[in-house]
Structure 1
Amino acid sequence: MTADDTFSRLDDDDYPAYTMGRAADMLGTTQNFLRAIGEHRLITPLRSEGGHRRYSRYQLRIAARARELVDQGTPVEAACRIIILEDQLEEAQRINAEHHRSAALHTAAT
């Protein structure tokens, strides 16, 4: 692997670049918090060859959102469910907007 390959991977939001300890430090939380949101299926860290959890920047953003909710008094399980529902709503809105654009193009073409 070349240095260029390494840097391009670090630019990838989905590349599991962070160990559990580093991820917890970056978020200002505990490793137990990361385990808890994993148990509630909010994020599923990849595993290194040695079985250690590895997190991507995308996963850290989701974990940071969960931490915000928990810091506001929301139980971890509820925070995970809220984020999952927010993500589903965002996806449904994106699909709906695509259908509206497609319908508008179809109407304009006829």
Structure 2
Amino acid sequence: MEQEDAILALAALAQSTRLETFRLLVRHSPDGLPAGEIARALAIPHNTMSTHLNILSRVGLLSAERRSRVIVYRADVPRLRELMLYLIKDCCGGNADFCAPLIAELEPCC
């Protein structure tokens, strides 16, 4: 991942509704949710939700699939993985023990 891509993804997530949306879709991976269900779950007006979904899609954190009149959104987990790896890739400075607690926290769920 390039630095500019990471900045854009982090900027998109640096807003409470978009962060909640992304976390909701991660919880519903890999199936995703229709846009209307996302809006209802977060109590956000549909037109406002559409704007947030477009922002997250533009930076590659979401994918969308049209099913007739419904658009189903999914968290792009590989893109999330790229972003997380970009953030922690050099965290240990060659000392694997430094990152071990972080990795241990991730292992039970992943």
TM-score range normalised by the length of the shorter chain: 0.3 to 0.5
Larger radius of gyration: 1
Q: Which has the higher helix share?
A: 1
Q: Which has the higher strand share?
A: 2
TM-score, normalising length: structure 2: 0.36
TM-score, normalising length: structure 1: 0.36
